[in-house]
Amino acid sequence: MLNIENLNIDFYNQEDKTWFKAVKRIGFNIKKGTVLGIVGESGSGKSVTSFSIMRLHDERTTKITGEIKFDGINILNLSTSEIRQIRGNQISMIFQEPMTSLNPVFTCGEQVVEAIILHQKVDRRTAKSKTIALFEEVQLPRPEKIFDSYPHQISGGQKQRVMIAMALSANPKLLIADEPTTALDVTVQKTILQLLLKLKEERDMAMIFISHDLGVIKEIADDIAVMYKGEIVEQGSAASIFQHPQHPYTKGLLACRPSPALQLKKLPVVADFLTGKIEDSHAHLQASNQFTAEEIDLHRAKLYQQAPLLQIEKLCTWYPVKNGFFGKATDYVKAVDEVSFNVFQGETLGLVGESGCGKTTLGRTILRLIQPTSGDIIFNGQNITSIGSTYLRKLRRDIQIIFQDPYASLNPKLTVGQSILEPLQVHKMFSNDSERKQKVLELLNKVGLKAEYFNRYPHEFSGGQRQRIVIARALALKPKFIICDESVSALDVSVQAQVLNLLRDLQQEFGLTYIFISHDLAVVKHISDRILVMNKGKIEEEGFPEEIFYAPKAAYTKKLIDAIPAS
C-alpha cells in the first residue's frame, strides 16, 4: 500500500541561510492490514517522516526528494488540490497532543462533524449521526454528552479517542498514529492500544505507529523501523528486533527502559551502547549493577530506624462543587481524603495512580501550594499545616518541587542562569551575585550541563536538558525534601534513564528525601524504597516495591500492574 524509497527531507534555516538534513535516504514498505512501528528519540525524524507522507510541511522552507508511493501514486508529484483528496480521506493522522490538536472553542462533536462534511459531502444531520456512531465505535462513554462537551471538559484519554474518531471519519486506508499514548496513564494507554488494534482488524487498515517507547511498540507492531539522527539504522519484524537487536542504538533503547523484574542500581543509557562502553544488550544486568537482598535489607534498616522527616495525618483537600441556598457548600470533590503516611530522611517514596486520583493535589498540599481542608502536615517535627506566610517562605528553602513540564516552569524571558540564581537572591544566600553565580555554575556542572549554558534561554535546550535545569534550580537552596511531580513522564526513555540516574546520584550525595509522583509503575519500582498506590483521593495500598508488584492486595493495584507494556 505504501512504498517509500530514498526519502530525503531538508529544512531551510532562516538564521544562517543553510539547509539542514532532517531525514536521510530512508525507505520502508507497509502492506494492507499491517502495523509498522517507527521508534526513536525526539529529533530522530519520526514525525518529520510521517508529516511528509501527509504533505504537511511548509513547502517554501522544506525540500523533499525520493519517492512516497501510495497505491502506486507518488504523493510528492501531486498538486495541492490532488493531495487534499488523499489527506484526511485515504490517509489520516492522530497527532501526539490531543489538547493542542483540538480547537478549544468548538465542541468535540462539531469538530468531527466538520471533518465528515468536508470529506463525505453529507448534510449536517447525517454527519452528526455518523459522529455519534464513531464515538460509540471508539468506546467513548455517553457519546451524546461528549458530542456537546468542549475539549477541556473531558479527560486526556477521552480527548485521544475523539482524535481517533476524527481520523477514522473518512474510513482511511492508512492511519498514522504519532505518539498517541505518550504521557497517558498505563491503563488508558493499554485501552487505546487495544482499541487501535481492534479498529485496524475490523477496517483492514494499514497503520504507522510512532513512539519513543519500544515497550509500547512491542504491543502493537508487526514490523519495526528504528530511527536515529534522521536515518533508519535497523528494521525488521518485531520478533527479530526484540530478540536479536543488531544496532547499538536499538540495544540501548531496549536496555534503558526500567524493567519491573529487575532491581538495578543504575539504568544503562543509549550513549553507553553507542560509545561501545556496553556492547551486549544484556551486559548491564551484571551482578555489580544489581542490588542484593543483603544491601536492600541494610538500607531499609538504616532508613526506618529514624524518626520520620514528614508525617501526614488524616490530610484532606476538598473542593466545593455545589452550594446551597445561602451559598454554603453542600457537595465536594474529595481530591485528597483522609490520607496518612510517613516519609523518612533519605527515602524515596513512590506515589502512583491514574490521572485524577489526587497525586498532584496531595503533593502540592504538602508543600502548602494548596491550602488543606483539614488534617496535619508535620515536617521535621513541626506542624506546618497553618503556619503564616513569613515562616512558610523560610521553609521553602527545605522543601522544593520538580514539575512535570520543565518548559512551563521556566520563565522564557530569563536565561537559565538567572532562573537558578533568582532563589539564591530571594533567600539572601551568599554575600553577592558573583558568589551566587559561582554556585549556579557548580550546580549546572553537578547536573551534567556546561558552564556556557548560563546565558542561554530555555527554548534553546532539549526536554531532557530543561529537566536538568529545573533539578539544578531545586537544588540551589540545599533542600532536605523534594517532590518530583511526574518529572520524567514526557521524556524519551533514554533521557528518562539519564534523569533517573541523576536523581539517585544526587540523593546519595546530598542525603535528599523524595516523594516521586508518577503514573508509570515500572519507573516508580526502579527508584522507590516504598510505594503508595492512590485511587479516588485515598491510599489504596502501600508497601515495598516487590510486595506491590508480586503480591498486590487491591484489585486497582493489580489493574495498574497488568497494564504495564511488556519489556
Average confidence (pLDDT) over 351-363: 90
Backbone angles phi, psi at 548, to 5 degrees: -65, -40
> Rounded CA gap, 252 and 234, in Å?
13
> Rounded CA gap, 161 and 176, in Å?
14
Confidence (pTM): 0.85
Sorting pLDDT into bands at 50, 70 and 90, what band is 121? confident
> Rounded CA gap, 52 and 366, in Å?
47
Percentage of residues in the chain having pLDDT higher than 70: 96
CA dihedral 262, 265, 269, 272 (to 10 degrees): -110
Average confidence (pLDDT) over 359-366: 94
pLDDT value for 323: 67
> Rounded CA gap, 406 and 499, in Å?
13
> Which cell is 283 given?
551486559
Q: Which of 365, 395, 361 is nearest to 381 (CA)?
A: 395
Residue 207 pLDDT more than 80? yes
Dump pLDDT digits (tens) for 217-235.
Answer: 999 999 999 999 999 999 9
386 CB neighbour count, 10 Å cutoff = 11
The string of DSSP letters for 82-109 reads: HHHHHBTTTEEEE-S-HHHHS-TTS-HH
Residue 411 in 3-state DSSP?
coil
Dump pLDDT digits (tens) for 366-381.
Answer: 999 999 999 999 999 9
Residue 182 pLDDT more than 80? no
> Average pLDDT, whole number, for the chain?
90
Sorting pLDDT into bands at 50, 70 and 90, what band is 325? low
> Rounded CA gap, 8 and 267, in Å?
34
Residue 60 pLDDT more than 90? no
pLDDT value for 463: 75
Rg (the chain; Cα; Å): 25
Q: Which residues contact 486 (CB under 8 A, 6 or more apart)?
A: 360, 404, 517, 518, 519
> Rounded CA gap, 443 and 89, in Å?
52
Backbone angles phi, psi at 540, to 5 degrees: -80, -35
The larger pLDDT score, comparing residue 390 to residue 324, is at 390
